[in-house]
Each structure stands twice: as structure tokens, then as C-alpha cells.
Amino acid sequence: MSGPGTEVASRPIGVFDSGVGGLSVLAELKRWLPHEHFVYYADTAHCPYGERAPEDIERLTLRGVRWLEAQGCKLVVIACNTACAFSLHSVRAATSLPVVGLVPALKPAVAQSRSRVVAVFATPVTLEGSLLQDVIAEHARPAGVRVLKLWQRELVPLVEHGQADSPFTHALLKELLTPALQAGADALVLGCTHYPFLIPALWAEFGDAFALHDSGTGVAKRARALLEGAGTLNVQRRAGHTQLYTTGDAASTESVARQLHPDIAGVQPIVSSEVPA
């Protein structure tokens, strides 16, 4: 028997990111929601978002979410910390779809830190955005935990170009994070969805000196809970499929995406006329 709920359940989940970094979140979504279909929007034509003006980030994020809504998505995940820092409230106001956003995983890092020093590694707008400031005020300050804010301009582009484990990337991470280690940090919050792809390089340079925290699992659990609550979880006992789309060059995006997420079937281009203004 089928009905309206069954029809909605078969629709895809939309995933938005400024580029390929959100594939780290997609991997967790697929692990927790193996029967769901996914449509991934990579705004690689405008990546990185980290140094853009807040109004520009909001405009680009709203365009992407509206495009995903037009594809019939039943839920949208904004798999970009920078986009969430300045767009989450306006996106939720602009769509009737449930929207899951990211907040840097500072809460579990604070709870587990023994040294009471935690480093948050993110983009400038995420580091100064209200979402992170609220988490610091609610969890870090009352616990007496010092939060170090770290940023490196070149790392997101390096991930976008398939250089997440290159010697140059290793050198940048060592330069950036050694002072945090010397300052006593024992936990590192990966506050950008590109940064989980740096974990092999982080392990090579620092071993287990830092406990690493990212938001992927929490986002996947939240998405599953929303679908279960609405009765729109896809319960068909077959694996879902995933389609990637990009506002940039499809061939180069696919090349990097396959390195980061090997079961990617292909990447389709999005022309500007297909994206709502």
C-alpha cells in the first residue's frame, strides 16, 4: 500500500556545500541513512566561502537551497559551516523543508578535554559567527575551557584540488597547529566540512596528540530523527543512489570528488539559468 507519506519518503535528501568538503558529511549521512537518495549541490564556482561577505554567503546559500527544493528534495542538509554561520536562520525562513545545519563540535570537545584547552579550526566567518560564539558561551566558558581559534587560508583550496595529503598540506598543518599543541590543546574541532579530509595528514604529523571532533555524525543522526518523526524515512530495502551537481567545472569536480568519495557515479554541471535568483 502506498500513500502521500510513501511518495515523500522516496524523494531525495538535498545536501548543499560550497564545494566538495560536504562529501565528508555525505559519507556519514549515507552510513546512517543507507536507503536514502541524495542530491548534492557543490557551489564550486564560488568556493571558498570563508572570506566572502556575509550577505554574499547568504545569497549563494539561498540559491543553492532553492535549487535543491526545485529538485523535489524532502529535507536539506547545509553541509558547510561557513554557510550555516550566516545563512541558517534565513534559509529556514525561506523554505518549508526541514533544514539541518552544522555547528562546530565544540560541546563534545569541551566535555572530553583534560587539559581544558580546545582548538577550533575553521574559516574566519565561522570563527566569528554567532553559532560558534553561542556554543562557547554555553559550554566552554562555564567549564573554564580556553578556546583557541585557528584558520589557514590555503587549506580549503588544497582539499578542493585533491591535495589534502600533499607535502605542502602537511607543512601548513604543522606550522598552524604546533603552537596550539604547545599551548596545551588536547582537542581539535574540525569546524569546516573540508577538514575531515585532512585527518590522514593530521595523524601523520601529530599522531594522537589531538582528539579530533567533527559534526558529521551528529548531523546524520539529526536528519534521521527528523525523517523518522515526520514518517518520511525511506524504508525500501535497497541502497539509495547519489547524484552530484556543480556550478563549476564538472570534470575537475568529479576528479576530486572520486578521490574523496570513491563511489561517486559522476558529476553533472548546473548552468546559471537553472539556479533561482
The pLDDT profile of the chain, 277 residues, written as one tens digit per residue, is 344 467 899 999 999 999 999 999 999 999 999 999 999 999 999 988 988 898 999 999 999 999 999 999 999 999 999 999 889 999 999 999 999 999 889 999 999 999 999 999 998 888 988 889 999 999 999 999 999 999 998 999 999 999 999 999 999 999 999 999 999 999 999 999 999 999 999 999 999 999 999 999 999 999 999 999 999 999 877 888 899 999 999 999 998 998 888 777 789 998 765 566 5
Q: Which domains does the chain have, with CATH numbers?
A: 4-102+217-274 (3.40.50.1860), 106-214 (3.40.50.1860)
Q: Which of 47, 73, 84, 192 is catalytic?
A: 192
Question: Given this model, what pLDDT does residue 3 score?
Answer: 46
Judge contact between 105 and 136, C-beta under 8 A: no
Residue with cell 510513501: 6
* Run of H or E residues at 88: helix 81-94
How does strand 117-121 pair with strand 187-190? parallel
In angstroms, the CA 104 to CA 130 distance is 11
> b vs e for 170-201, b when ≥16 Cβ sit within 10 Å of the residue's Cβ?
bebbeeebeebbeeebbbbbbbbbbbbbbeeb
Question: Given this model, what pLDDT does residue 1 score?
Answer: 38
Question: Given this model, what pLDDT does residue 274 score?
Answer: 59
3-state secondary structure of 84: helix
In angstroms, the CA 119 to CA 181 distance is 9
Q: Residue 257: which of 46, 24, 29, 30 has the closest Cα?
A: 24
Question: Given this model, what pLDDT does residue 276 score?
Answer: 60
* Run of H or E residues at 77: strand 75-78
| 78 DSSP β-pair partners | 16
Question: Given this model, what pLDDT does residue 239 score?
Answer: 80
pTM for this prediction:
0.89
192 as an active site residue: the answer is: yes
Q: Residue 170: which of 193, 143, 199, 194 has the closest Cα?
A: 199
In angstroms, the CA 92 to CA 60 distance is 14
In angstroms, the CA 192 to CA 190 distance is 6
47 as an active site residue: the answer is: no
> Per-residue DSSP letters for 198-236?
GHHHHHHHHTTSSEEE-SHHHHHHHHHHHHHHHT-----
Question: Given this model, what pLDDT does residue 179 score?
Answer: 97
10 Å Cβ neighbour count for 59? 16
